[in-house]
Amino acid sequence: MNITSNKQLDRKDVRGQIISIFFIQITSTISFAVFYSGLSIYLTQNQFFSKESASLVTGLFLSINYFLPLIGGIIANHFISFKKLYVIGTISNFIGCLLLINNNLYLGLSLFLMSSVSNVCLNIFLTQLFTINQKIQRRVAFIWNYVGMNLGFMLGYFLTGFSTITNSYFYLFILMSFLVVLSLILTIIFIKEPKVSSRISKSAWHQIMIGAFIIILLVAVIDMLFHYANVMHNFITGFTIIMFCLIMYYALTKSRHDQKQNLIKFIYFSLLTIIFWTFYMLTPIAIMQLIENSVQRNLFNIYFAPQWFTNINSVVILVFAPILTMLIKSKKIFNDSENYFTIGFLFVFFGFVLMTLGLYSSIGLAKLSSLSVLGYLVCLTFGELFISAIGDSFIGELIQESLRGLMTGVARVNICIGVLLASTIGNEFVLPYINKGGLSVESSIKLVQFFFIASCLFLLLACLVPLILRNKRVSKQKYNDMIKKDEILGELL
Please write the tens of the pLDDT for every residue from 224-268.
Answer: 999 988 888 888 888 888 888 888 888 888 777 767 777 888 888
Residue 57: inside a domain, yes or no? yes
> How many CB atoms are closer than 10 A to CB 99?
18
Among 208-212, 344-348, 483-487, name the most confident range.
344-348
Identify the domain containing residue 363 by its residue range: 11-492
Residue 3 domain-assigned (yes or no): no
Alpha helices in 201-287 (DSSP H): 204-227, 229-254, 260-280, 282
| CA–CA distances in Å: residue 165 to residues 29, 38, 160, 162, 306 | 22, 11, 9, 5, 9
- What does pTM read for this prediction? 0.80
- Residue 178 placed within a domain: yes
Q: Is residue 5 in some structural domain?
A: no
| Domain at 114, CATH number | 1.20.1250.20
d(C-alpha 147, C-alpha 68), whole Å: 23
Cβ-Cβ contacts under 8 Å for 288 (sequence gap 6 or more): 37, 40, 41, 306, 307, 310
| Average pLDDT value for the chain | 83
Structural domain count, the chain = 1
pLDDT per position as a tens digit, 389-400: 677 667 777 777
Residue 116 binned pLDDT confidence (cut-offs 50, 70, 90): confident
Specify if 120 maps to a domain. yes
Predicted local confidence at residue 378, as pLDDT:
95
pLDDT at position 4 over 80: no
DSSP codes of every residue in 262-324:
HHHHHHHHHHHHHHHHHHHTHIIIIIHHHHHHHB--EETTEEPPHHHHHHHHHHHHHHHHHHH
- 2 inside domain: no
